Structure 1
């Protein structure tokens, strides 16, 4: 028995080492994003420093994705950053996968225009750690009201202590793609709001719309937000991860890219259906049995 007690600390060492490395990785990513945001760079210089070469940015008006840094910068500079002289931001949430190679941040932006006035915004970034450091592999920004947000730090995502399974990369990708499909399928049955409540984590975040000053936190609050104006059952939209999927090797954090499509009206005239809406969603799981739940979108 004495020998067993002596072995316990040794058995815990890998878990403690992971907890330390996971915490350090999250702190490093948060600091990286925060440091970039505090430099008050020109929008072009900021995006060049922030985005990965293969970044994907949803372009709602075009109904597509920018799929490279050059495409993304061109779209952003012609869109939300067109009148910007400088941009600064502050992250309020960070999460990093157990292997320390994937992560996400979300926060608030201030864009100073050429006339000296400020415009506020919110952003979500999904990161990959590359040889030369972190780079945003997915990025989304939306406008926000002029009111100043609270900038309250939200709890970090805590990755599981060990890799969830030994599945191959293809199986990990398939599991997340299936989770997104199940999410959409469920909305067709119970309604959009209830599905968002069911498939989200208690600490999930949603950037909200242009009328929301603060980032919306919690699956229940998000369900209420997106369910407004929706039918009691069924959904006005359906979607799938039909553009791309990425999952950390540790199997606990990933992102889906796809398109939201609107169901035809009662008359079934497909010519009146708006173009699909591109989206990306960050997913997490801390228990393989529980499955994937969205954590940021």
Structure 2
């Protein structure tokens, strides 16, 4: 006779193993992009602030360029959105064009195109990048950026998802997680070092980017591919400025294959100025992935 206590412990593990064996990485990515689309569909019915606020995780982070930092937490993020006095009377719709998920299916990303309709009927096209985490079983955005873009045709076709080789169960191991966080933070710091303050920034972007990476860029569409991103970044970097960056916060899935770095870019003149000025501080975040914990980190969206 099998003790009842053993059954009560083992049965959830058996169910979890069965669930993992039946669910594929593609399934997890479809769930994430479906969640993003569902939020977008709801967003079309209301105002910008309400539409975005319902997507936010409790620990959401939004870049706040006006204050050279970040809005952290849902209340601060909503307050940042409301700083635009037209936001509560504007409507935001969006279309995700790519998703990616971690092997533990707890972290992921999407990016795509937005359309902002102002109260006067004017339309502002844009782009967005979102880093997602599961919160109480539901996908919520934990880091988000939205920018305007020039008018122009863009493809809304869905791009192939960024998938892990297989799904694994989430784990809670603080020492292991601390190590994963530091590995990704160091990858970001090494990325900055290889840019040499600007002269080799294009080569650094080409080296540290995934072949399928996307960069918001300055054009109507995203810039795709590490080499193209590197060339574009080098072409728009001021040779008279020194650019460095480093993460202040790093978030990583327990599977160690998807994460996000959050920090500040510093831009300062190379030559000493007659009247020294503080460096320009720009908040940024970069989404990273790799195919396994033995592989190097590569940025996938920013």
Secondary structure of the structure 2 residue equivalent to 1:27: helix
Aligned to 2:81: 76
Deviates further, 78-87 or 127-136: 78-87
Aligned to 1:129: 134
| 1:192 and 2:201 correspond | yes
State the distance in 1 between where 2:272 and 2:178 align.
40
**Partner of residue 25 from structure 1, selected from 28, 37, 54:** 28
State the distance in 1 between where 2:72 and 2:22 align.
34
Root-mean-square deviation (CA, aligned residues, Å) is 2.6
Query: Structure 2: where are the runs of 5+ without partners?
Result: 1-16
Deviates further, 77-86 or 122-131: 77-86
| 1:36 and 2:39 correspond | yes
State the distance in 2 between where 1:271 and 1:296 align.
34
Deviates further, 33-42 or 105-114: 33-42
Distance apart, 1:87 and its partner CA: 1.1
Distance apart, 1:17 and its partner CA: 4.7
Q: Which runs of 4+ in 1 moved over 3 A?
A: 14-21, 79-84, 229-232, 268-271, 287-290
Distance apart, 1:288 and its partner CA: 3.4
Matches within 5 A, 1:111-150: 111-150=116-155
State the distance in 2 between where 1:43 and 1:238 align.
33
State the distance in 1 between where 2:166 and 2:201 align.
33
Secondary structure of the structure 1 residue equivalent to 2:251: strand
TM-score, with normalisation over the residues of structure 2? Answer: 0.85
Distance apart, 1:172 and its partner CA: 0.3
Distance 1:80 1:31, change over 3 A: farther
**Partner of residue 238 from structure 1, selected from 231, 239, 244:** 244
Distance 1:65 1:35, change over 3 A: same
State the distance in 2 between where 1:25 and 1:179 align.
26
Distance 1:235 1:160, change over 3 A: farther
TM-score, with normalisation over the residues of structure 1? Answer: 0.86
Distance 1:44 1:162, change over 3 A: closer
State the distance in 2 between where 1:195 and 1:235 align.
17
State the distance in 1 between where 2:205 and 2:85 align.
28
Q: Is the 8 A contact 2:259 2:289 kept in 1?
A: yes
Distance apart, 1:91 and its partner CA: 0.2
Secondary structure of the structure 1 residue equivalent to 2:111: strand
State the distance in 2 between where 1:97 and 1:250 align.
7
State the distance in 1 between where 2:62 and 2:104 align.
25
Distance 1:225 1:80, change over 3 A: farther
Secondary structure of the structure 2 residue equivalent to 1:170: helix
Distance 1:18 1:292, change over 3 A: farther
Distance apart, 1:51 and its partner CA: 1.0
Distance 1:16 1:199, change over 3 A: farther
Distance apart, 1:274 and its partner CA: 3.7
Query: Structure 1: where are the runs of 5+ without partners?
Result: 1-13
Distance apart, 1:148 and its partner CA: 4.0
Secondary structure of the structure 2 residue equivalent to 1:146: coil
